[in-house]
């Protein structure tokens, strides 16, 4: 049963076999892969799905240079004007030597596989029959998983790379092809074609293949075969040879001359031998040809707004890329689609696209279920095709890491994580990996082979036999084999004590500032209103209160009391609790007493004049109170702790801001809170901090409590409950905070395939052992970043990462949430670049930069960011560009936003070089960047910018799927600001509405209910709800933003109205979010690119 039906391959092989250059291992990056039906399912705007350019945005190929406002026109690196003539023309000349008439078409398995025959395809023109990713039919009949990422590691490489003709590898591996790597795709059987697997295939597969791709990496190689499909037709890019394409304004003299000779598909394959012989091998599509394939795919599939403009570059880089690859042993099959960054403004539409997924179909798992691979929202890897060798890893310079958000809040419409309760939790004996969809069944299914350490383990009998029904069960239906994210209910051996209840202990500041700002009253009111939704399904939840000023007040909340009893402790020489019990009570039993306390607490301290605060002592007492159980300490603080242990100085010194010494303000001024947090960690106590100070709050120091206990920090600068916006924001956030599910007494371990080692972790946790994260509470908002490195060369074609989160859920069950991510391994540098997830990279870099800034200097963090970008671009340049392209600034298409993201980080509040950001705010943003999942932090790095005055038909209204349709994003540049415009900008923490001076009074009336521009008040505001279409739409959009933010990061963004000629500070704040502009002394985006190009000038080309 091991051998899958060779016919599958046989039908396709002949043509390829005719070509001596054909190499089954020549898996084209991006070819089979992105084409797979499950891969990149909805790549950011696949063809047809490409988001339309916003109105008013420069059209495709429109010279960007013309849009540069006068103040930027003189910048050294303004986008050079580009002649419209550069536009690709479908009927353009074909490069010579590219006669695809020679390609045997019959070997195309399915009609859908027809390569586009019009040359226009390469240009990313809306492809009529284009095999763009996401639209491809199931490839079951075609080469199943010919992901580029499954290179034929090791053995055959050298020989093949050299183009050894007729290598036996073409044959034998086919026979050994592990069945489970044949994409199953049961749902949509492909039209029977020459390559269609016989119906028996599936059955055979079901029978637990014994072949093992892990031990036999070469088995995978033939899969690359079909991907050789003659997509070469796309390669010729008509305008390729045209002068001027490189859009850099430099006469591209060398290019036209060189182009034709590069433009030999034979070279695209990176095989020198094939170049001359190509013409002589018309029988089969030469391997290299598919070097071109992804081009069309990427170009069109990416839905680039201006794909036609880029494609010429792509082709060029494609070809040259192949040259670059020669240097790595001739293994690679071409380069990723290159984009010249100098060619136009960044395409910000891609921020709205779905996250890139690993270059492997989830259906190549053992169960073939579409849910077999982890959703990027739970776990994503910066590289979706992992370099096989250490050398390759070092060469690509791309940071290698994972971003895990294990306990994330589910959004509407998402399937809940399956919870299973097997008689026994099946794990690998050696590495303790949990069984998952990526294991292999061997020995007729009696054993399973661990996909991390490759040890074979027994399959327990209950996998096939249900003792209750006394019937046979299909093991491949088990959730642990069909879902990458599952939750096991853990048996006794996973507990050191019975699962703890939820414990919430509030430590509330009742000093003068807290009472005056209304924080105390609002907090009490919110807690009171939320008591019903606090996790309390098993009625075990415990609650306690401590209020703090210069003394500690404890509350006896015994259910036997008629009303709460306050116990004041003013002797603070030592930490002690006034009574041993009844301070922490059951929420259900003492509900009435608790409610009474919350109703009265505001009045109790109404007239206080006490400005002292002994938070340090309060936290010690709180820890003492709940340490036997563990739980959550919630600190609400308006004053800087100023007495007793843990007293802090108001050390803010505006003179230090913007200087290298600023970092001293970002580091804790005392180790007290950190030490406290460290002692909380083993007792399963987590601390969450809410800070409301109107003056200095010292987030840098107090956030230490949250950082090492898995908590969170919330900051409300100058909070005043009298302003309804402030009160609303806090109430919303606090109420969501209290009612969201929490995981308790958790530990998280990350395991990875043999050869991969974790080097560093980022996030809020305490690292208890080299790979064990201790999380007293797991918080749905927090994500964790893991930096990894290759310890040894990988020997398999799949690398797997498994995160196990052992926690107690809020209903008192001990559970293990297991998240498994499988990523293919490649030996091709081009694949590595083409599969890199720029958003994950930016997110990982931001976390590293935060750490760098805090341990060294902010300036060092900026330099590190810049250096890393340089490094990556340099690595790309040195491998994939030719000397003729030196004037361009090339990046792979999938990394083309990385420079913009880096610029966004450099200008972010956290890292910007400025003397106007208070250290509290900087600390807060850093703390947030450090914990937020990539989807959320991305908005902070690159805000969303919409034109409200030009909403299209659907924007702001529920779309076909019931979700609010978002308007297209605009580039973050003030050149987009028209005087009559109305714009919305959102960065995750704030929403700004910019009102142009010449805005139409009707719009103002509709939106703000004010007669004219002059009547609008700037600043924090709430939009009126009016019965007109425009108002409804804008309110829908804001509501949608707030809904997502509150769910995913417990933040209720505040709305600010900014008038064009309004208050300068507010205006500057808004303008500082437009990161493509020059702000203070920082670069504009075109300038930044110029600097990059200069810095890269020294890097040699391939």
Partner 1 sequence: MNGEGFLFLFGVVMAAVLLFAMVFFIIMFSDLECDYINPIDLCNKLNQFVLPENFLHAFLWLMFLINGSWMALILNTPLLAWHVYKIVNNRHMFDATEIFRTLPQHKKECFLKLGFYLLSFFYYLYRMILALLNEA
The CB-of-649 to partner 1 minimum distance in angstroms stands at 16
Block residue for tokens 């390729």: 240
The smaller minimum CB distance to partner 1, of residues 317 and 705, is found at: 705
Tell me which stretch binds partner 1 (CB under 8 A): 14-22, 39-47, 523-531, 673-681: 673-681
Enumerate residues 633-662 that contact partner 1 by CB under 8 A. Answer: none
Enumerate residues 772-831 that contact partner 1 by CB under 8 A. Answer: 772
The CB-of-630 to partner 1 minimum distance in angstroms stands at 16
| Tokens found for residue 495 | 């507990």
Tell me which stretch binds partner 1 (CB under 8 A): 407-415, 552-560, 675-683, 836-844: 675-683
Residue 85 buriedness (CB in 10 A; 0-12 / 13-18 / 19+):
exposed
The smaller minimum CB distance to partner 1, of residues 725 and 771, is found at: 771
The smaller minimum CB distance to partner 1, of residues 547 and 709, is found at: 709
Task: Work out whether 162 is an interface residue with partner 1 (CB under 8 A).
Answer: no
Q: From CA 196, how far away is CA 12, in angstroms rounded?
A: 10
Residue 1005 buriedness (CB in 10 A; 0-12 / 13-18 / 19+):
middle
Q: From CA 420, how far away is CA 415, in angstroms rounded?
A: 15
Tell whether the torsion through CA atoms of 522, 525, 529 and 531 is positive or negative. Answer: positive
Supply the DSSP symbol for 352.
Answer: G
Question: What is the x/- site pattern for partner 1, positions 708-737, by CB under 8 A?
Answer: x-----------------------------
The CB-of-667 to partner 1 minimum distance in angstroms stands at 11
3-class state of residue 45 by DSSP = coil
The smaller minimum CB distance to partner 1, of residues 604 and 678, is found at: 678
Per DSSP, helices labelled H in 363-511 are 390-396, 479-482
Block residue for tokens 């929490």: 742
The smaller minimum CB distance to partner 1, of residues 651 and 1095, is found at: 651
Q: From CA 741, how far away is CA 535, in angstroms rounded?
A: 6
Task: Work out whether 674 is an interface residue with partner 1 (CB under 8 A).
Answer: yes
* C-beta of residue 514 within 8 angstroms of C-beta of residue 508: yes
The CB-of-704 to partner 1 minimum distance in angstroms stands at 9
- Out of 279, 682, 1011, 1024, the only residue in the binding site for partner 1 (CB under 8 A) is 682
Tell me which stretch binds partner 1 (CB under 8 A): 334-342, 393-401, 580-588, 764-772: 764-772
The CB-of-502 to partner 1 minimum distance in angstroms stands at 25
The CB-of-389 to partner 1 minimum distance in angstroms stands at 24
Encode burial over 871-886: b for 16+ CB neighbours within 10 A, e otherwise: ebbbbbbbbbbbebbb
Question: What is the x/- site pattern for partner 1, positions 587-616, by CB under 8 A?
Answer: ------------------------------
The smaller minimum CB distance to partner 1, of residues 515 and 700, is found at: 700
Q: From CA 810, how far away is CA 32, in angstroms rounded?
A: 44
Of 324, 316, 328, 319, the closest CA to residue 288 belongs to 319
The CB-of-791 to partner 1 minimum distance in angstroms stands at 14
Tell me which stretch binds partner 1 (CB under 8 A): 320-328, 372-380, 674-682, 980-988: 674-682
Residue 125 pairs in a beta bridge with none
Tell me which stretch binds partner 1 (CB under 8 A): 414-422, 769-777, 791-799, 1072-1080: 769-777
The CB-of-673 to partner 1 minimum distance in angstroms stands at 12
Tell me which stretch binds partner 1 (CB under 8 A): 112-120, 767-775, 986-994, 1082-1090: 767-775
The smaller minimum CB distance to partner 1, of residues 182 and 850, is found at: 850
**Total of residues contacting partner 1 (CB under 8 A):** 13
* C-beta of residue 762 within 8 angstroms of C-beta of residue 930: yes
616: left (phi over 0), alpha (psi -120 to 50) or beta: alpha
The CB-of-678 to partner 1 minimum distance in angstroms stands at 5
The smaller minimum CB distance to partner 1, of residues 669 and 739, is found at: 669
* C-beta of residue 885 within 8 angstroms of C-beta of residue 316: yes
Task: Work out whether 764 is an interface residue with partner 1 (CB under 8 A).
Answer: no
Task: Work out whether 766 is an interface residue with partner 1 (CB under 8 A).
Answer: yes
φ/ψ of 690, rounded to 5, equals -115, 125
H or E element in which residue 821 lies: strand 814-826
* C-beta of residue 615 within 8 angstroms of C-beta of residue 690: no
The CB-of-708 to partner 1 minimum distance in angstroms stands at 5
The CB-of-910 to partner 1 minimum distance in angstroms stands at 20
The CB-of-786 to partner 1 minimum distance in angstroms stands at 12
- Out of 8, 361, 681, 969, the only residue in the binding site for partner 1 (CB under 8 A) is 681
* C-beta of residue 909 within 8 angstroms of C-beta of residue 361: no
The smaller minimum CB distance to partner 1, of residues 186 and 679, is found at: 679
Tell me which stretch binds partner 1 (CB under 8 A): 2-10, 61-69, 619-627, 766-774: 766-774
Residue 284 buriedness (CB in 10 A; 0-12 / 13-18 / 19+):
buried
Q: What is the DSSP string of 92-158?
A: PPPPTT--GGGS--TT--SGGGPPP-SGGGGGT---SS---TTTSPPGGGS-TT--TT----STTHH
The smaller minimum CB distance to partner 1, of residues 208 and 761, is found at: 761
The smaller minimum CB distance to partner 1, of residues 768 and 1040, is found at: 768
H or E element in which residue 609 lies: none
The CB-of-620 to partner 1 minimum distance in angstroms stands at 17
The CB-of-851 to partner 1 minimum distance in angstroms stands at 9
The smaller minimum CB distance to partner 1, of residues 244 and 646, is found at: 646
Enumerate residues 743-762 that contact partner 1 by CB under 8 A. Answer: 760
The smaller minimum CB distance to partner 1, of residues 276 and 671, is found at: 671
DSSP strand pairing (447-449 vs 542-548): unpaired
Encode burial over 457-491: b for 16+ CB neighbours within 10 A, e otherwise: bebbebbeeeeeeeeeeebbebbbbbbbbbbbebe
Of 682, 631, 409, 632, the closest CA to residue 499 belongs to 631
* C-beta of residue 150 within 8 angstroms of C-beta of residue 139: no
Supply the DSSP symbol for 299.
Answer: H
Task: Work out whether 769 is an interface residue with partner 1 (CB under 8 A).
Answer: yes
Task: Work out whether 694 is an interface residue with partner 1 (CB under 8 A).
Answer: no
Residue 723 pairs in a beta bridge with none
- Out of 17, 250, 767, 1099, the only residue in the binding site for partner 1 (CB under 8 A) is 767
The CB-of-749 to partner 1 minimum distance in angstroms stands at 11
The CB-of-24 to partner 1 minimum distance in angstroms stands at 43
Q: In Å, how far are 461, 666, 902 from 212, measured between CA atoms?
A: 22, 52, 42
Task: Work out whether 678 is an interface residue with partner 1 (CB under 8 A).
Answer: yes
Q: From CA 1022, how far away is CA 1025, in angstroms rounded?
A: 9
Residue 553 pairs in a beta bridge with 547, 568
Tell me which stretch binds partner 1 (CB under 8 A): 70-78, 326-334, 671-679, 965-973: 671-679
- Out of 768, 966, 1020, 1095, the only residue in the binding site for partner 1 (CB under 8 A) is 768
Q: From CA 825, how far away is CA 755, in angstroms rounded?
A: 12
Tell me which stretch binds partner 1 (CB under 8 A): 458-466, 678-686, 797-805, 1043-1051: 678-686
The smaller minimum CB distance to partner 1, of residues 591 and 768, is found at: 768
Q: From CA 938, how far away is CA 598, in angstroms rounded?
A: 38
Of 9, 451, 450, 446, the closest CA to residue 220 belongs to 9
The smaller minimum CB distance to partner 1, of residues 177 and 706, is found at: 706
Contacts with partner 1 by CB under 8 A lie at: 674, 678-679, 681-682, 708, 760, 766-770, 772
């Amino acid at each position: 049963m091991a051998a899958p039906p060779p016919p599958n391959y046989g039908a396709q092989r002949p043509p390829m076999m005719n070509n001596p250059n054909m190499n089954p291992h020549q898996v084209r990056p991006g070819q089979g892969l992105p084409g797979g039906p499950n891969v990149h399912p909805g790549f950011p705007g696949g063809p047809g799905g490409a988001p339309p350019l916003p109105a008013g945005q420069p059209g495709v190929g429109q010279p960007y240079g013309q849009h540069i406002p006068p103040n930027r026109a003189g910048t050294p690196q303004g986008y050079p004007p580009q002649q419209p003539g550069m536009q690709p023309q479908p009927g353009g000349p074909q490069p010579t030597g590219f006669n695809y008439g020679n390609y045997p078409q019959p070997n195309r398995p399915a009609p859908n596989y027809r390569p586009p025959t019009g040359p226009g395809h390469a240009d990313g023109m809306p492809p009529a029959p284009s095999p763009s990713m996401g639209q491809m039919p199931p490839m079951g009949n075609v080469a199943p998983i010919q992901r580029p990422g499954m290179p034929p590691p090791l053995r055959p490489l050298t020989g093949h790379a050299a183009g050894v003709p007729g290598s036996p590898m073409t044959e034998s591996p086919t026979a050994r092809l592990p069945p489970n790597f044949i994409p199953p795709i049961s749902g949509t059987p492909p039209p029977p074609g020459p390559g269609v697997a016989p119906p028996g295939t599936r059955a055979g597969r079901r029978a637990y293949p014994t072949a093992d791709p892990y031990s036999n990496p070469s088995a995978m190689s033939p899969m690359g075969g079909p991907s050789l499909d003659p997509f070469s037709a796309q390669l010729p890019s008509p305008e390729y040879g045209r002068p001027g394409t490189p859009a850099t304004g430099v006469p591209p003299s060398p290019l036209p001359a060189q182009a034709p000779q590069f433009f030999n598909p034979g070279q695209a394959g990176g095989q020198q031998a094939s170049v001359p012989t190509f013409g002589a091998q018309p029988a089969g599509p030469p391997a290299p040809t598919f070097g071109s394939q992804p081009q069309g795919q990427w170009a069109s599939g990416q839905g680039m707004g201006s794909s036609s403009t880029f494609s010429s570059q792509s082709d060029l880089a494609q070809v040259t890329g192949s040259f670059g690859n020669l240097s790595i042993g001739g293994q690679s099959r071409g380069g990723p689609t290159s984009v010249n960054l100098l060619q136009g403004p960044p395409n910000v539409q891609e921020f709205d696209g779905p996250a890139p997924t690993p270059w492997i179909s989830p259906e190549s798992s053992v169960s073939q279920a579409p849910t077999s691979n982890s959703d990027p929202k739970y776990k994503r890897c910066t590289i979706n095709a992992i370099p096989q060798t250490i050398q390759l890893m070092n060469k690509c310079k791309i940071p290698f890491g994972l971003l895990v958000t294990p306990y994330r809040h589910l959004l509407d419409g998402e399937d809940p994580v399956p919870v299973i309760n097997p008689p026994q939790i099946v794990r690998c004996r050696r590495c303790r990996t949990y069984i998952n969809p990526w294991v292999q069944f061997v020995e007729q299914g009696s054993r399973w082979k661990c996909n991390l350490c490759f040890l074979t383990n027994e399959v327990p009998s209950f996998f096939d036999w249900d003792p209750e029904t006394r019937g046979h069960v299909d093991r491949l239906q088990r959730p642990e084999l069909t879902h990458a994210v599952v939750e096991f209910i853990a048996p006794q051996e996973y507990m050191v004590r019975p699962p703890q209840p939820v414990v919430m202990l509030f430590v509330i500041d009742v000093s003068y500032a807290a009472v005056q700002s209304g924080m105390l009253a609002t907090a009490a009111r919110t807690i009171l209103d939320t008591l019903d939704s606090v996790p309390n399904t098993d009625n075990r939840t415990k609650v306690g209160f401590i209020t703090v000023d210069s003394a500690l007040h404890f509350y006896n909340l015994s259910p036997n009391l008629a009303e709460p009893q306050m116990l004041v402790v003013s002797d603070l020489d030592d930490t002690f609790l006034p009574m041993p019990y009844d301070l922490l009570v059951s929420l259900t039993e003492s509900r009435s007493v608790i409610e009474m306390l919350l109703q009265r607490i505001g009045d109790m301290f109404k007239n206080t004049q006490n400005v002292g605060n002994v938070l340090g002592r309060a936290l010690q007492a709180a820890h003492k109170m709940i340490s036997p159980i563990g739980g959550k300490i919630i600190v609400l603080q308006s004053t800087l702790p100023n007495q007793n242990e843990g007293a802090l100085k108001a050390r803010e010194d505006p003179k230090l801001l913007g200087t290298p010494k600023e970092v001293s303000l970002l580091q804790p001024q005392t180790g007290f809170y950190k030490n406290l947090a460290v002692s909380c960690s083993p007792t399963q106590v987590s601390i969450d901090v809410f800070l409301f100070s109107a003056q200095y709050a010292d987030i840098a120091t107090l956030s230490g409590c949250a950082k090492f206990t898995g908590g969170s920090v919330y900051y409300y600068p100058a909070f005043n409950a009298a302003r309804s916006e402030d009160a609303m924001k806090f109430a919303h956030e606090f109420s969501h905070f209290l009612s969201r599910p929490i995981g308790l007494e958790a530990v998280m371990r990350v395991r990875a395939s043999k050869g991969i080692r974790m080097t560093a972790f980022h996030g809020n946790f305490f690292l208890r052992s080299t790979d064990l994260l201790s999380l007293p509470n797991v918080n749905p908002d927090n994500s964790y970043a893991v930096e990894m490195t290759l310890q040894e060369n990988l020997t398999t074609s799949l690398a797997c990462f498994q995160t196990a989160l052992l926690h107690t859920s809020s209903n008192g069950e001990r559970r293990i949430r297991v998240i498994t991510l499988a990523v293919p391994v490649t030996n091709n540098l081009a694949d590595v670049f083409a599969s890199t997830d720029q958003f994950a990279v930016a997110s990982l870099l931001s976390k590293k930069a935060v750490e760098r800034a805090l341990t060294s200097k902010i300036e060092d963090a900026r330099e590190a960011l810049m250096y890393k970008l340089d490094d990556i671009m340099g690595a790309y340049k040195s491998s994939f560009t030719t000397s003729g392209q030196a004037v361009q600034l090339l990046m792979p298409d999938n990394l083309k936003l990385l420079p913009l993201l880096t610029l966004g980080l450099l200008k972010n509040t956290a890292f910007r070089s400025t003397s106007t950001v208070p250290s509290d705010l900087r600390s807060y943003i850093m703390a947030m960047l450090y914990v937020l999942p990539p989807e959320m932090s991305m908005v902070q790095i690159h805000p969303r910018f919409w034109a409200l005055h030009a909403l299209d038909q659907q924007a702001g209204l529920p779309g076909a799927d019931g979700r609010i349709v978002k308007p297209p994003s605009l580039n973050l540049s003030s050149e987009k600001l028209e005087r009559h415009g109305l714009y919305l900008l959102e960065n995750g923490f704030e929403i700004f509405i910019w009102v142009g001076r010449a805005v139409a009074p009707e719009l103002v009336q509709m939106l703000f209910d004010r007669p004219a521009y002059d009547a609008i008040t700037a600043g924090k505001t709430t939009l009126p709800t009016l019965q007109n279409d425009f108002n409804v739409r804008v309110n829908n959009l804001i509501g949608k933003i707030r809904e997502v933010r509150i769910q995913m990061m417990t933040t209720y963004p505040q709305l600010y109205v900014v008038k064009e000629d309004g208050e300068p500070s507010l205006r500057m704040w808004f303008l500082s979010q437009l990161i493509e502009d020059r702000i203070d002394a920082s670069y504009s985006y075109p300038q930044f690119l110029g600097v990059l190009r200069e810095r890269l000038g020294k890097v040699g080309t391939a």
